[in-house]
Structure formats: structure tokens, C-alpha cells
Structure 1
Amino acid sequence: MARAVTTQKKAIYTVAAWGIGLLIFFPILWTFLTSFKTEGTAVADPPVFLFFDWTTDNYTVVQERSNYMRYLWNSVVIAGGSTLLGVIIAVPAAWSMAFVPGNRTKDILLWMLSTKMLPAVGVLYPIYIVLIRLGVLDTKGALIVVVMMINLPIIIWMLYTYFKEIPVDILEAARMDGASLRNEIIHVLTPMAIPGIASTILLNVILAWNEAFWTLNLTADDAAPLTAFIASYSSPEGLFYAKLSAASTMAIAPILILGWFSQKQLVRGLTFGAVK
């Protein structure tokens, strides 16, 4: 029997939820507002929130100074390519962990999780040397592989969780009907786990899009994504906050729009199997 929730508790929960949401959203709002200020207004003390002379000059300067579309395309290729490659590798791996008995799944999952605890700078030097020796430093292909490897444990963990919610009897029935392993994964398992796969793809696109450490250290110009685009506005002469905010707004706008339009699918996938 469901526990009754009083009107007072509902009001408290609602206010708390809105408060936390506004607290999380405030840095994005402040960055957006600062992008329309002059440099003098951006560093004013006390800070100016809404009542200032709005200008779009910062966006004009950013467009003239930087090739925004090239950075955007690099981000799209790296985020999309690394996520797609990760899913292709993770689906069979998660299937094996979820449905093949006696494969020490918990130990493997914990080992994969432990790799996320390793400081990224600890493996930067060997990866950097390997990419130089292979002649692929500052290429989109190399970044796709590196970012995929960084996020692969998360992809496998998420897919494993979704696959475990699928009744194994359905897969056994497909095998009895003569389905091969390939057909079982592609035509039976994958369609049933589409909500989970979709949410995994969305979440990992966001993680890859926001990846800064590897993209800043393994690129110079040719494969530089939007993280490098933002960093280029931090110069020895100082920080130009208004222009930096304009560049940041242009960099986060595509992923915010993607998240806004796909929020229902993301929530559906993240709660897949939570309620039985």
C-alpha cells in the first residue's frame, strides 16, 4: 500500500527541487548573461545581473577570431564516433556478462570501475608517446579511440544493468528457434533494450562532448574540439570574461539543445527496469 504524502510535504519537496534545480542552472544562466555584457560590465563590482546594456559584440568577435564550425564539427565527430564505437564493443560485452553463467561478472565489473579511479594524468605520458610513435597525434581518429576507452566502462555498466532486466527465457526461445548468436544480439536483445541503449548513447555523447583533459592534451589544431575553442580565450594577457562567456555559450548550446529535446528518452532509459 502506497504511503500517503501530505500537501505540506509535497510543497516542501517542490520548493526544494526547484531550489536545487536553480542552483545547478545558475552558472549556465550567469555565463549566458555575461556573454551579452561588455568586458567592463562583466568584471563590475558589485556584479550586474540583469540591468545592463545588452550587446552582441562578443559573439561577433568570437566568430571573426575563431572558426567555430570547424571546432563544432570536430566535437560532433569525436563525441559521436567514440560513443558509436563504444556501443558496438559494449553490447556483446554486456550480453556476455548478463547472460553467460560463470564468467566472474562482478569481478570484471569492479575491475572496469577501478580504471575510472585512476588519475588521467597518470597514463597521459604513455598514451601521448604511443600516439606520436603511430603518427596519429592531433587526429580525430586517435581521439575517438581514446575517449571511447575512457567511457567504455560506463557504457558497459549501463548496458549490463539494462540487459539484466530482460528475461533470459526470451533469448532461450530465440535459440530454440534456430537464431544464431549474431541474430540473437541484433534482432532479439537490442530491440528490447532500445530505451536503455538510447539513454546510454545520450549520456555518453554528453560525457564525450564535455571531455576536456584528453582533448586539450592530445590536440593542437587539426582535431581540436570545442573544449579547445573555449580554452583559446584564456590568454597570457588575462581573461576576457565576456568573450569567454560567449565562446562557452556557443560550445554548450548544441549539447543543451540535444539534452532538452531528448530528456524524455533519457529519463525513460535511466529508469528502465527501476519499477517492476
Structure 2
Amino acid sequence: MARAVTASRKALTTAIAGALAFLMFFPILWIVVLSLKTEVDAIRAPWQVLTSGWTFESYGAVQERSDYFKHFWNSVIIAFGSTLLGLVIAVPAAWAMAFVPGKRTKDVLMWMLSTKMLPPVGVLVPIYLLFINIGLLDTRFGLVIVLMLINLPIIIWMLYTYFREIPGEILEAARMDGASLREEVLYVLTPMAIPGMASTVLLNVILAWNEAFWTLNLTASKAAPLTAFIASYSSPEGLFYAKLSAASVMAIAPILIMGWFSQKQLVRGLTFGAVK
């Protein structure tokens, strides 16, 4: 029997949720406001910032100084490339762990997850030297490899969780019908796990898009994505708040738009298998 929810309790819950949502969104809103101000207005008191004039000159200055579209395409290639390469490796790995479980499956999963607990700076020097020696420094391919390896544990964990919700009997029936291992994974398992795979792709694209540590340390100019594009507006001369805010808005806008239009698929994937 469902519990009755009073109108006052519903209103209170809605108000609290709305307040929390506003607090989480406020930093982005404030960055947008500062991006529409001049450098002089951007450093004023908050009330004076809101009441001063509005202008798009910071966006024009950012585009004149930096090639936004070059950084944008670098981010697209690096984020989607690392995610798709991770899927190619993670799908068979998650399939093996989900449907051919061994005594050490949980130990392997925990070991993979433990690699995310290692501070990135701990392996920066060897990876940096390796990239110099094999010619991958400041290349998009090098960043694709690094970000794929960084996010691979998360991709495998998520796919393993979704694959475990798929009845093994369906795969057994496919084998009895003569399906090969490749056909089983490609034509039976993958279509059934599309909601989970879609949410995995979206989450890992966001993680790769926002990655700053490796992109700042392993690039200079050729393969620099939007994270490096933002960092270029922090200089020894000081912070240019209006231009920095404009660069930030230009960097996060594509991923925000993608997240907004794919939120239904993301929620569906993250709740996949939650209700039997």
C-alpha cells in the first residue's frame, strides 16, 4: 500500500529540491553572467556586476585570440575516440566477467577500480617520458590512448553491471541456434544492452571532455582540447575574468547541450535493471 503524501510535505520537498538545484547550477549561471561583462565590470561587487551593461565583446576577443574550433574538434576526437576504443575493449571483458564468471571475478573488478584511486601525478613522469620517446606527445592519438586507459575500469564496471541483468538463457538459446561467439556478442548481447551502453558512452564522454590533468600535461598546441583552451586565459599577468568566463562557457556549452538532449537516455541507462 502506497504511503499518502500530504500537499505540505510535497511542497516542502519540491522547495528543497529546487533550492539544491539552484545552488548546483549557480556557478554555471554566474560564469555566463561574467562572460557577458567587460573586464572592468567583471571584477566589481556582485550587485554592480548584475546592474552593469551587457556585451558580447569577450566572446569576440576569445575567438580572435584562440582558434576555438580547433580546440573543439580536438575535444570531440579525444572524448569520443577514447570512449569508443574503450567500448571495443570493455564489451568482451564485461561479457567474460558477466557470463563466464570465475572465482576471482570480483577481485579483478576491485583491482581495476583501485587503479582509479592512484593519484595521476604518481605516473605522470613515466608516461611523459614514454610519450616523448615514442613520439606521442602533443598528439590526439596519444591522448585517446591515455584517456581510454584512465576510464576503462569505469566502462567495464558499468557494462558488467548491465550485462548481469540480461538472462543468460537468452545467450544459451542463441548458441543452440548456431550463433558463434562473435554473433552472440554482436547481434544478441549488444542490442539488449543498448540503454546501458548509451549511458556508459555519455558518462565517459563527459569524463573525457572534462579531463584537465592529462590534457594540460601531455599537449602543447597541436592536440590541445578545450580544457587547455580555458587554461590559456590564466596568465602571469593575472586573471581576465570576463574572457576566462567566456572561454569556459564556450567549452562547456557543447557538453551541456548534449547532456540536456540525452538526459532521458542517460537516466534510462543508469536505472537499467533497477526494477524487475
Does the CA contact (< 8 Å) of 1:37 and 1:55 recur in 2? yes
TM-score for the superposition, normalised by structure 2: 0.98
Deviating above 4 A after TM superposition, structure 1's stretches of 4 or more consecutive aligned residues are: none
Does the CA contact (< 8 Å) of 2:42 and 2:49 recur in 1? no
Does the CA contact (< 8 Å) of 1:97 and 1:103 recur in 2? no
CA–CA separation in structure 2 for the residues paired with 1:103 and 1:96: 13
**Are 1:225 and 2:217 an aligned pair?**
no
Alignment map for 1:44-193 (pairs within 5 Å)? 44-193=44-193
Structure 2 counterpart of 1:21: 21
Structure 2 counterpart of 1:32: 32
Give how far 1:45 is off: 2.5
**Are 1:260 and 2:273 an aligned pair?**
no
Q: Where does structure 2 lack aligned partners over 5 or more consecutive residues? A: none
Give how far 1:47 is off: 4.6
Q: Where does structure 1 lack aligned partners over 5 or more consecutive residues? A: none
Give how far 1:7 is off: 2.2
Give how far 1:46 is off: 4.6
Count of paired positions: 276
CA–CA separation in structure 2 for the residues paired with 1:257 and 1:73: 16
> In the superposition, relative to structure 1, how do residues 150 and 48 fare at CA in structure 2: closer, same or farther (>3 Å)?
farther
Deviation string, structure 1 residues 87-116 (Cα, Å, up to 9, x no partner): 111001111111003252110111011000
Deviation string, structure 1 residues 55-81 (Cα, Å, up to 9, x no partner): 111011011100001000100000010
Deviation string, structure 1 residues 206-247 (Cα, Å, up to 9, x no partner): 000000000000000110000000000001100000000000
Alignment map for 1:177-256 (pairs within 5 Å)? 177-256=177-256
The residue type paired with residue 212 of structure 1 is A
The residue type paired with residue 12 of structure 1 is L
> In the superposition, relative to structure 1, how do residues 46 and 59 fare at CA in structure 2: closer, same or farther (>3 Å)?
closer
CA RMSD across the alignment: 1.0
**Percent identity (aligned):** 73
